[in-house]
């Protein structure tokens, strides 16, 4: 249930109302239903039996709307306008389109510094790199750990980029958040609910990747775990689903982009590198994702892809990245958008 | 094995060579390896044991190349340049992009005539409509049959459009070919090999839809059945695959477009209507398909979609079609292509 | 809608009633609702709007029941007891369990004669062998054709076995039916509706294989095409579905067996050879299928599996077949069933 | 690489050898290659370049074998005989077959006590119940937490059962291990590598469920994370994979049972409740799993299934459980096995 508040309600009145609702036993989440109206969402599961009329008389409430979708806070009933996630001066989800680029793993200080320099020159604004790597085999390279976070952070700062990196466990959240601007939840952890709940308690943006066999509904409910725990800054990432086709690593579900943007106010980006797993397909699939309405891209880029420690087959070089970003511009413009370029 | 022929070889010499190879027991398919060089492909399965050197000395042969892929004639080893399928003055597969539009079923003479008028006005060049419908239930509307073909054919002619319609059985090929310009093989019949072999014996273009769970290799081998039986005019159509996601009717595999165009010289079009099954998604997925390199689109359009006898949920109206086609133009231009418009 | 008839109604009265219903425009299918009561099903799609009360007064009708499932004739509303398909003295679908065995392809007269001898000695009662083979590539062995049917038929007769073989096209139905006892529709043709409709016009049993990505509902509706065209003798065959797992050729959906038997009165057999694609798995999966309630098995068996012209990897030898059949006996007995043995 | 040790080697000599290998930089895991021979596995990823001959001369080593599979410790190269997991006097993986039964969630002290009493009376030996529940929605019942573990533990002890319950996060391992005999990793956490690594540091048996879209290889590599971290007591659980079929909750991949037992020495159990999601299918699928070679079953059972707080649709009552267990006995006996009954 969503309580729409009076237009010029005072902060004090809002807080009193929240207190009263909490005292009644509700979990209350503050939001903006649309550009002009503040709202309070009651999201605990009991409210199905509630009588909306009983809430209309509360002081400061001018309307009561249903929140019928299972993803109450991620859905457009809670917020009809697209969310714009603020991140150190960069806006994710607005008319601008963000490019996140970098290597699968942080391999060394020099490697990530060189990568940062090159992707910044291409126009990317966010540097990606894994320090904690969820590898299928325990015997594969597991990432550099904290020192990798440090290198990534330094490289990003040096070239005026933001940083994004994966967090794999609740016990590592504080550590990763200490170094990195955007915390990524990998596809394999999309339903690691303990991790999601704890990421809901910090306020850095969370890049949530779709699970390999997650439906749209499950994906939005995973986001809901973060939102309902208090962190409104969630970015959804379509990164390919598992199908019967073996020529590609995954099947990048481009339709997920416009559908998630129709069901939810959260920004949606695409990862064409993992989504197909083939270097030559990064360019056409990047164009397809932007043409379908994506708010950004996450592209594995390495100064020397064939020497990358992981995911070499799907990693492109900076020359290809520059060409791709240039080819996106006219598509973005045709949709009244533009690619945000690093300065 | 592919025999590359001398540059100015006479027709007589080619025919003598073909005769000799056939006499030796080979199945021989004539082609153009690239723009300048004629070639003869030996496609029967025995040739793995053949010694290429033994064929280099044949009169008129200047080179012998391998045809290692299982799809010998559909693959780029046989023909390195994209095929352009000629169809009544229209070229499918060149720099121009074709729009095929129309209703799922031909419902009546008036309905298809009205549809033809409206889609022609939007810029479509090919009229689609089903007269023989492969319906999941025997109790659903099975199509108008021959009279439907007649209506479709008349409507197309009236508005200077070409026509495309499905053929479901070998016994109906001649009948459908008598009325229709492009014969469609539906997804459910992609591995109906008797049908494919018989379609290889006519020379009208064949629009071959990908099966619901067909790999790229199986799809290209289905095309190979048609090509090896003698008909080089095959158009591939990505129309969505079956996955675990139930929000959409199918998962439109956009990556199939650039991958098939890399593996094969055949044109590739996309069907965003069946591919997603949701009216609102036709526009973004059409844009994504063109951005990924598609040579055309097949879009279910009806003068009054909610009254369509089949597939109403995924069918758009002519206003939406016109908007979509207009929105494709800048994307096509950014790829040095353009949308072919009906006159 | 299902009209239940009076207990001792005369044939003449039934025929008059059918005539009257057909004159009214209905498609009428005669059946036995349960062991004692004859019934007439009205299966054309219009009957949703019909008023059951209006039919209760027809002469000979004592009750009117709904046929709400989309698979009206395949469902248990039409027939509550399991169907027993009679086939040359053998019953498929009763308490006995049938074993169909033989090679993927009929390879030669000697090979199929030897196969027949060996599988009969193991206890199999039906000989399988392909003469028309649906191969993924046009360059693979396509089967011996009519002479293969002749060899198969001769071998079966020699060893007092019945025969089963695939029919791929409407134009071949008469030919195959001329030689073979049970006509098989392959997985790739499960939705070849022209073929299904024409198989409904003969009265030999049809072994219908589930399509690679067919839901239970689609599978039963494919059977409905045959049933509604007049042939009640359909045997369903679960043969594995296509999933993301690549270690196996397919994923044999054992749950399909009890579910289809709950939804439908038709017999259900399993094909563990195609279902998994691995020789060592035929034994455990045969046991699992019987334990789950299958009415029979279809097992690829060859005198010398490693020399089989097709599907060698999943084909077992007669020694393994004999061991498997013996190991099924106690499982069958625990379910109050038994394995039918050839004499 | 696997070093096979001399037959009567002293513990001191083994420890010296381990020390030496560790000093060289290897990760060493002790095991029994077969019943008679002790072995040391070197499992870090570098050993591909190692020369086996160089290790044959080490004191106490009589043979050096390859460990070529990616799942070095889970595979049969490391241990050719089936592992028997000891658990409080019960053996999992031997000739006996274990039945784990109980409700999806621990709902109350009375409910789980009643459940324990009833499933013990049916013959089950292990009591299941969730206290920490991984629910798709944050608004669904999340389990009772620690008090639920306490209730479960008490109920199990009261009726001489062992207990199994899910652990969702590294921070909860000690707590769950304090109460429960067997720790379960849910399907959604199968690739939560931090959790797996930490479960490798305790010595209680781990019940590892297959992920919804995990291949056999990925499943065994998830087990490898636990094994390589030091805990050899892993039980694999097939619980259904996600496919296109929507009639069932999942597709129970029965073939996984014999295949995993061929690839690995670890015990394999099946969960027919989640695997199909339909109450009526628990009996036939339990029989199928045992017939295919499963070492046990995990069956959702509730005194009053329709009132279960979660998974009601797939939960059976104790009467059905007793019938199922009885029907398994003859199948087990036919495979020279038997059902372990609680006293």
Distance from CA of C310 to the nearest CA of D (A): 22
Q: Which helix (H) or strand (E) holds B41?
A: strand B38-42
Quick one: closest CA in A to B219, which residue?
Answer: A245
A188 neighbors D186 (Cβ within 8 angstroms): no
Q: What distance in Å separates the CA atoms of residue A252 and residue A258, rounded to the nearest whole number?
A: 13
* A151: Cα separation from own chain's centroid: 22
Distance from CA of B127 to the nearest CA of C (A): 24
Q: What distance in Å separates the CA atoms of residue B43 and residue B41, rounded to the nearest whole number?
A: 6
Please judge whether D246 and B246 are an interchain contact, meaning their C-beta atoms are less than 8 angstroms apart: yes
Q: Which of C229, C181, C220, C224 is nearest to C204 (CA)?
A: C181
Phi/psi of residue B141, nearest 5 degrees? -55, 120
Please judge whether A139 and D192 are an interchain contact, meaning their C-beta atoms are less than 8 angstroms apart: no
Tokens of D342: 């609680």
Collapsing DSSP states into helix, strand and coil, what is residue D329? helix
Q: Can you count the helices (H) and strands (E) in chain B?
A: 11, 15
Q: What distance in Å separates the CA atoms of residue D278 and residue D314, rounded to the nearest whole number?
A: 5
Among partner residues A135, A140, A191, which is closest to D188 by beta-carbon distance? A191
Give pLDDT tens digits for C279-289. 999 999 999 99
Quick one: closest CA in C to D218, which residue?
Answer: C245
CATH topology of domain B2-65: Alpha-Beta Plaits (3.30.70)
Q: Is the pLDDT of residue D308 over 90?
A: no
* A173: Cα separation from own chain's centroid: 16
SS (H, E, C) D26-64: CCEEEEECCCCCEEEEECCHHHHHCCCHHHHCCCCEEEE
B-interface mutation test, from C138, C191, C215, most B Cβ less than 10 A away = C138
The ipTM, to two decimals, is 0.95
What pLDDT sits at residue D343?
60
Q: Which of A45, D223, B191, A149 is nearest to C187 (CA)?
A: B191
Q: What distance in Å separates the CA atoms of residue D211 and residue D196, rounded to the nearest whole number?
A: 13
User: β-strand A90-92 against A61-65: which pairing, if any?
Assistant: unpaired
Q: What is the pLDDT along chain A (343 residues), one digit of tens a residue?
A: 899 999 889 999 999 999 999 988 888 999 887 767 899 999 875 555 678 888 899 999 999 998 889 999 999 999 999 999 999 999 999 999 999 999 999 999 999 999 999 999 999 999 999 999 999 999 988 999 999 999 999 999 999 999 999 999 999 999 999 999 999 999 999 999 999 999 999 999 999 999 999 999 999 999 999 999 999 999 999 999 999 999 999 999 999 999 999 999 999 999 999 999 999 999 999 999 999 999 999 999 999 999 988 888 999 999 999 999 999 999 999 999 999 997 6
A162 neighbors A156 (Cβ within 8 angstroms): yes
Distance from CA of D64 to the nearest CA of A (A): 20
Quick one: closest CA in A to D244, which residue?
Answer: A243
Q: Please report the DSSP string for C110-177 in residue order.
A: HHHHHHHHHHHHHT--EEEEESS---SSTTS----THHHHHHHHHHHHHTT-EEEEE--SGGGHHHHH
CA dist B52 → B29, B56, B60, C105, C140 (Å)? 17, 7, 15, 32, 21
Give pLDDT tens digits for C315-324. 999 999 999 9
pTM: 0.96
| Average pLDDT of every residue of chain D | 94
Q: Is the pLDDT of residue C47 over 60?
A: no
- Residue that has been written with the tokens 């330094």 in this structure: A154
Collapsing DSSP states into helix, strand and coil, what is residue C178? helix
Q: Name every chain B residue with its beta carbon within 8 A of the beta carbon of D244.
A: 213, 242-244
Q: Please report the DSSP string for D70-129 in residue order.
A: SSTTTBTTT--SPP-EEETTEEESSSEEEEEEEEEE---HHHHHHHHHHHHHHT--EEEE
Give pLDDT tens digits for B237-248. 999 999 999 999
A192 neighbors A170 (Cβ within 8 angstroms): no
Q: Which of C144, C124, C93 is nearest to C260 (CA)?
A: C93
User: β-strand B2-5 against B61-65: which pairing, if any?
Assistant: antiparallel
Which residues have C-beta within 8 Å of that of residue A117, sequence separation ≥ 6? A158, A159
The sign of the torsion formed by the CA atoms of B322, B326, B328, B332 equals positive
Q: What distance in Å separates the CA atoms of residue D116 and residue D152, rounded to the nearest whole number?
A: 9
Tokens of A1: 């249930």
Q: What distance in Å separates the CA atoms of residue B190 and residue B171, rounded to the nearest whole number?
A: 17
Collapsing DSSP states into helix, strand and coil, what is residue A5? strand
What pLDDT sits at residue B24?
85
β-sheet with B2-5: strand ranges across:
B28-32, B38-42, B2-5, B61-65
Q: Which of C255, C236, C124, C117 is nearest to C187 (CA)?
A: C236
Indicate the DSSP class of residue A124: -
Phi/psi of residue C2, nearest 5 degrees? -120, 120
Give pLDDT tens digits for C180-194. 999 999 999 999 999
Please judge whether A242 and C246 are an interchain contact, meaning their C-beta atoms are less than 8 angstroms apart: no
Give chain C's contact residues with B (Cβ, < 8 Å): 43-45, 70, 72, 134-140, 168-172, 188-189, 191-195, 197, 212-213, 217-218, 221, 224-225, 228-229, 242
Please judge whether D168 and A218 are an interchain contact, meaning their C-beta atoms are less than 8 angstroms apart: no
Which residues have C-beta within 8 Å of that of residue B40, sequence separation ≥ 6? B2, B3, B5, B14, B17, B18, B21, B28, B29, B30, B31
Q: Name every chain D residue with its beta carbon within 8 A of the beta carbon of A192.
A: 168-169, 188-189, 192
Listed in sequence order, the DSSP H helices in chain B are 11-24, 53-56, 109-122, 146-158, 173-179, 193-199, 216-228, 256-263, 272-276, 282-291, 318-334
Distance from CA of C198 to the nearest CA of B (A): 11
Q: Name every chain C residue with its beta carbon within 8 A of the beta carbon of A243.
A: 244
A-interface mutation test, from B243, B255, B336, most A Cβ less than 10 A away = B255
Q: What distance in Å separates the CA atoms of residue C63 and residue C65, rounded to the nearest whole number?
A: 7
Distance from CA of C140 to the nearest CA of D (A): 29
Domain ranges of chain D: 2-65, 85-339
Architecture of the structural domain at C85-339: Alpha-Beta Barrel (3.20)
Q: Name every chain D residue with its beta carbon within 8 A of the beta carbon of B187.
A: none
Q: What distance in Å separates the CA atoms of residue C174 and residue D289, rounded to the nearest whole number?
A: 42
Q: Name every chain A residue with its beta carbon within 8 A of the beta carbon of B248.
A: 255, 259
User: β-strand D90-92 against D296-300: which pairing, if any?
Assistant: unpaired
């Amino acid at each position: 249930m969503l309580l729409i508040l009076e237009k010029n309600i005072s902060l004090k009145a809002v807080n009193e109302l929240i207190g009263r609702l909490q005292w009644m036993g509700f979990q209350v989440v503050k939001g903006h239903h649309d550009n002009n109206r503040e709202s309070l969402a009651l999201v605990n599961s009991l409210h199905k039996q509630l009588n909306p009329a009983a809430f209309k008389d509360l002081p400061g409430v001018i309307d009561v709307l249903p929140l019928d979708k299972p993803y109450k806070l991620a859905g457009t009933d809670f917020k009809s306008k697209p969310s714009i996630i603020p991140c150190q001066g960069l806006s994710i989800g607005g008319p601008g389109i963000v490019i996140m680029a970098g290597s699968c793993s942080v391999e060394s200080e020099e490697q990530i510094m060189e990568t940062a320099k090159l992707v910044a020159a291409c126009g990317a604004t966010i540097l990606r790199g894994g320090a904690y790597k969820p590898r299928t085999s325990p015997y594969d390279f597991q990432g550099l750990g904290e020192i990798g976070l440090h290198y990534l952070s330094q490289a990003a700062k040096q070239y005026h980029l933001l940083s994004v990196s994966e967090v794999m466990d609740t016990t590592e959240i504080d550590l990763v958040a200490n170094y990195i601007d955007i915390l990524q939840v990998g596809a394999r952890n999309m339903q690691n609910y303990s991790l999601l709940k704890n990421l809901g308690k910090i306020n850095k943006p969370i890049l949530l990747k779709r699970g390999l066999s997650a439906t749209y509904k499950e994906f939005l409910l995973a986001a809901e775990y973060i939102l309902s725990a208090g962190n409104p800054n969630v970015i959804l990432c379509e990164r390919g689903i598992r199908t019967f086709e073996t020529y590609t690593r995954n099947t990048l579900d481009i339709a997920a982009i416009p559908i998630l943007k129709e069901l939810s106010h959260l920004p949606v980006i695409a990862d064409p590198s993992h989504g197909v797993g083939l270097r030559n397909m990064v360019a056409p699939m990047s164009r397809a994702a932007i043409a379908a309405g994506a708010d950004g891209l996450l592209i594995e880029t390495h100064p020397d892809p064939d020497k990358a420690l992981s995911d070499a087959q799907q990693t492109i070089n900076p020359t290809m990245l520059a060409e791709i970003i240039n080819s996106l511009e006219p598509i973005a413009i045709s949709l009244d958008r533009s690619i945000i370029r690093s300065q």
